[in-house]
Amino acid sequence: QLQWSVPEGSFDSFMLQYRDAQGQPQALPIDGGSRSVTVPGLSPSQRYRFHLYGLRGRKKIHHVSTEVMTATYKPDEPPSPSEEPQTEALPTEDNQPEHPQTEVPPVRAVLGELKVSSVTPNSVQLQWSVPEGSFDSFMLQYRDAQGQPQALPIDGGSRSVTVPGLSPSQRYRFHLYGLRGRKRTDRVSTDIVTGEGE
Instruction: Judge whether residue 92 has pLDDT over 50.
Output: no
Stretch 100-117: mean pLDDT: 71
Say which residues have a Cβ less than 8 Å from residue 66's Cβ, sequence separation at least 6. Answer: 2, 49, 50
Average pLDDT over residues 176-185: 88
Please spell the DSSP secondary structure of 6-27, one letter per residue: --SS--SEEEEEEE-TTS-EEE
Q: What pLDDT does 140 receive?
A: 94
**Nearest CA among 146, 124, 139, 117 for reference residue 186:** 139
| Class of the domain covering 2-70 | mainly beta
For range 190-194, the mean pLDDT: 92
Domains 2-70 and 113-194 belong to one CATH topology = yes
| Domain definitions of the chain by residue range | 2-70, 113-194
Could you tell me what percent of the chain has a pLDDT over 70?
82
For 1-26, the pLDDT digits (tens) are 999 999 888 899 999 999 988 888 88
Q: What is the C-alpha separation between 68 and 45, in angstroms, rounded? A: 10
Choosing among 3.40.50.720, 3.30.750.24, 2.40.160.20, 2.60.40.10, the CATH entry for 113-194 is: 2.60.40.10
d(CA 42, CA 49): 12
**pLDDT of the residue at 192:** 92
The count of C-alpha atoms lying within 13 angstroms of the C-alpha of 11, restricted to the half-sphere facing its C-beta, is: 24
- Distance (Å, rounded) from C-alpha 146 to C-alpha 150? 11
Q: How confident is the model at residue 81 (pLDDT cuts 50, 70, 90)?
A: very low
pLDDT of 99 above 60: no
